[in-house]
Amino acid sequence: MCFLIYEGLKELVELDLGRNQIASLGLGAFDDVIKLENLKLNNNRLRHLEEKIFEKLIFLQSLDISDNFLKSLTVWHLRGLAQLT
């Protein structure tokens, strides 16, 4: 079961989940925070990301997934993130 402390925070623009020992994120983990502009997932234990995990984050400008255990990141993970720099 996944409990999201930011559920319902539809106006949230910055979310720092870095250094939290997160090992996995389920599909839909960010569905309630679609206005996010900055997302930090750095320094966790992520090994895999679902291909559509960021699909609804069309305003995302900055994504930090550094220092995890990810083996790959495909174009499908970033599809639709036109504002990402």
Q: Smallest Cα–Cα separation from 14: which of 30, 35, 44, 43?
A: 35
Average pLDDT taken over every residue of the chain: 91
Who contacts 74 (Cβ-Cβ below 8 Å, separation ≥6)?
51
pTM for this model (two decimals): 0.89
The domain locations on the chain are 10-72
Class of CATH domain 10-72? alpha beta
Contacts of 80 (CB under 8 A, 6+ apart): 54, 55, 58
Report the candidate in 24, 36, 34, 33 with the shortest Cα–Cα distance to residue 61. Answer: 36
Give the separation between CA 43 and CA 67, rounded to whole angstroms.
Answer: 5
State residue 58's pLDDT score: 95
Instruction: Flag whether pLDDT at 84 surpasses 80.
Output: yes
